[in-house]
Amino acid sequence: MSSRFFCRQPLMVAALALSLLMPVLVSGPSAAAPGKGPDTVADVAERVMDAVVNISTSQTVAASRGVPTPQLPPGSPFEDFFDEFFKHRQEDGGENRSKRVSSLGSGFVIAPTGLIVTNNHVIADADEIYANFNDGTKLKAELIGRDTKTDLALLRVKPDKPLTAVKFGNSEKLRVGDWVMAIGNPFGLGGTLTVGVVSARNRDINSGPYDNFIQTDAAINRGNSGGPLFNMEGEVVGINTAIISPSGGSIGIGFAVPSATAQPVIAQLEQFKEVRRGWIGVRIQNVTDDLAESLGIGRPRGALVGVVSEGGPAAKAGLKAGDVIVKFDGRDVKTVRDLTRTVADAMAEREVDVVVIRKGKEETLRLKVARMPDDDKQESGKGADDQKAAPRKTLGLELSPMSEDLRKRYNIKTEITGAVITAVEGGTDAADKGLRPGQVIVQVGQEPVASPADVQKQIEALRKTKKKSALLLVSDGQGQQEFVTLPLD
């Protein structure tokens, strides 16, 4: 079973042994690709090696009690001995004494004046950060800013003379099979170079909302985190961040943040000490085959809008739940990840065109992007008052009208209206799709519903049009919404 690990290297003798026993998420150079590689990378390496630094950090943590007090039966001959031993241990401060923990990672200089890029997880929670250079120089570094969503951080040191710096290249030009070179600090050994190829692009390893990793077989191990991935021109095309490995060592599957993702983040960290992303106020989901059929859009594509935040940019522009966004600011949207990254890269206060498919037809809306709030909370719109009617059974669901009793039982917010699911028949498609009591059906076939009778009415209308499935918009009690399709047969 493979596992992912961060590649910061703790400064402990036991760390290497531990890495052999448990999986590790790391990044850095991996084993060279089979077959004939470049004749030599020595000239390129000589130009860039001095720009790569080892990042060492230290942190004070409270020591936990290493040995628990043994539980002995009353009257045991060892009872007095252990009571006295642990009493003296606590009086001496052995239980509560804090300790210093150190770790190592990698980084690289991007400005001769002392700007250094690394991974956020390399310097997270550190009390002190130092950059160790190839010539033996050691400089204390200050943290300018960090971005947890892309796992990047920007540091500054104050050198006595200009530093060797490297430039970012264009990761968008990389092709699978291109040769790349990684330099870092694996296992605290110091500057180490490995060569491999780009194995894949646009990898999503579920580490964050903007995953778009370069996969490489250039060997990457513990301590390589934050180090650069170079093209054959000596330009940084990625920041080594993670590996997949069952042992903690490289098996040839490493991941790097593309320079196209890193550059705007680093630029904002330098200018603002934070990242100011775009935000439009929607909750979205991928379009599956059955959703595409229900929406009448042909092949699966785009990002399906589930929730539109009240008063947000999308709401002001006229976007609605059920719209499928297929283009944003001139860029095609094939998946949710495409839209997430495109919106995040957009500048606040900028107006952009958004192309949506609404009820089978394309429409273009004009939207002004806002800055992503610190706490991006989505709200659902207000609906009608409670409807009184008898429970109904349809499509494997028992539906009841909204009531105060149901709101209390399922903790449903007052602004959520629709037909409440009170039971799900086992073995049905509804059960297979994960529908459960307490959820609320708020739309059927992209039409709002306020009661079980409305749901039944919409289902009958869909059957008359020969639809094979019904598209339901379902909300939980807190307003988290998703689209689900159920067959009408």
- The catalytically annotated residue of 106, 171, 207, 225 is 225
Residues 6+ apart with CB under 8 A from 242: 4, 5, 6, 7, 25, 26, 27, 205, 207, 213, 225, 254, 255
Give me the catalytic one of 27, 56, 106, 121: 121
Residue 327: CB partners within 8 Å, gap ≥ 6?
A: 333, 353, 354, 355
Long-range Cβ contacts of 16-24 (<8 Å, 24+ apart) = 16/187, 16/222, 18/248, 19/222, 19/247, 19/248, 19/249, 20/247, 20/248, 20/249, 22/248, 23/245, 23/246, 23/247, 23/248, 24/222, 24/243, 24/245, 24/247, 24/248, 24/249
- CA dist., res. 230 & res. 169, Å (int): 8
Listed residue (310, 289, 215) closest to 485, CA to CA: 289
As beta bridge partners, residue 473 has 443, 483
Encoded amino acid at 474, one letter: V
Q: Which residue is listed with tokens 């680093």?
A: 266
**Which two structure tokens, joined as six digits, stand for 481?**
């919404």
Told to judge if 121 belongs to the known catalytic residues of this protein, a careful annotator would answer yes
Reported as type and span, the H/E element at residue 406 is helix 404-410
CB 261 within 8 A of CB 326: no
**151 catalytic, yes or no?**
yes
- Residue 457 to residue 459: CA distance in whole angstroms: 5
Distance CA 413, CA 419 (A): 14
**For the CA atoms of the chain, what is the radius of gyration?**
28
Query: Exposed e or buried b for every residue in 353-382, given b needs 16+ CB within 10 A?
Result: ebbbbbeeeeeebebebbebeeeeebbbbe
| List 151, 217, 323, 338, catalytic entry | 151
Q: Distance (Å, rounded) from C-alpha 23 to C-alpha 25? A: 7
DSSP code at position 187: G
Q: Residue 222 in contact with residue 179, Cβ under 8 Å? A: no
Helices (H), 296-394: 313-317, 336-345
The residues annotated with a catalytic role in the active site are 121, 151, 225
